[in-house]
Amino acid sequence: MAGKISAKGAVITLDNSAGSPQNISTGVTSYEIQWAIESHDVTGFTDGWKNNIAGQAIAGVTLNCLWDSTATVGTWTVIRPIIGHATANTLSITPESGGLAFSGEFLCTGVTVSGSADGSPIQMGAVQFVPKGVTIATWA
């Protein structure tokens, strides 16, 4: 039986607004990759069960990050200028050292910034990425 693998060693890179990849791994507290295939119901009136065919791929990424305004490499510094950016930005997530990376061209659609007066770090939650362009994100 395989042991549990921690996501702590994940490597996450994201193109900044100039198209230069930046490693934002240390600022990301969690990530979620949506990877699915849409299905379409094609059940006929005389079919004995539900019948489906594969549709289009569905891909998306949600990052939760700590606020970091460090020049060039900080999460806020990299993400803020690409929200709604006209060109696609490459996002790559390698969940485990030496493993496959999920990578593709994405549009950053927004971020939720939250903070509290109790001294907790400022959070950038639900940083949403949706596919942009005709090439589907892949695991490679």
Query: Which CATH number do you get for residue 128?
Result: 2.40.10
pLDDT tens for the chain, residues 1 to 140: 456 666 778 999 999 999 999 999 999 999 999 988 888 999 998 988 999 889 888 889 999 999 999 998 999 999 999 999 888 999 999 998 888 999 999 999 999 999 999 988 999 989 999 999 888 899 99
Is 69 a domain residue? Answer: yes
The domain total for the chain is: 1
Q: Is residue 89 part of a domain?
A: yes
Host domain of residue 79: 10-39+55-139
pTM of the shown model: 0.85
Residue 96 lies in a domain: yes
Q: Is residue 4 part of a domain?
A: no
In a domain, 49, yes or no: no
Task: Give the type of residue at 92.
Answer: S
Q: CA-CA distances (angstroms) from residue 96 to 12, 55, 73?
A: 11, 29, 22
| Assigned domain for 44 exists | no
User: Which class for 78: exposed (0-12), middle (13-18), buried (19 or more C-beta within 10 A)?
Assistant: buried
**118 domain-assigned:** yes
Is residue 47 in some structural domain?
A: no
